[in-house]
Amino acid sequence: MIHKLTSEERATQLSQLSGWQAVAGRDAIHRQFKFADFNEAFGFMTRVAIKAQEMNHHPEWFNVYHTVDITLTTHEANGVTERDIALARFIEDVAKAK
């Protein structure tokens, strides 16, 4: 069984992530990324998709042109887990490397 983070654990982890916020009304975290153009946004999504597949942990995301919205939650745990935090950290690193 995957451990769902407590409210305190989630708050501590979120404070260490840049720009990620709790989603109102659900146990999930969200962040929006903006890039120079669609090509840069798609490249970012591709890198994240490869890592997500390796982790077998897939984001909920939405892309329009240069904007990518990402929501992370672990469906098996019905909330945020360390898997979400690890993927969020990877996503931040990819966004910084653009």
Q: Looking at residue 27, what is its pLDDT?
A: 94
Is domain 7-97 given the CATH code 3.30.1360.20 in the classification? Answer: yes
Structure tokens at 48: 């994240």
Q: Where are the domains of the chain?
A: 7-97
Q: What is the pLDDT of residues 23-65, one digit of tens each?
A: 999 999 999 999 999 999 999 999 999 999 999 999 999 999 9
- Judged by phi (left if over 0) then psi (alpha if -120 to 50, else beta), residue 65 lies in left
The reported pLDDT for the residue numbered 98 is: 65
Give the model's pLDDT for residue 11.
92
Q: What is the pLDDT of residue 97?
A: 73
Q: Return the structure tokens found at 15.
A: 């404070």
> Dihedral, CA atoms, 20, 23, 28, 32, nearest 10 degrees?
-40
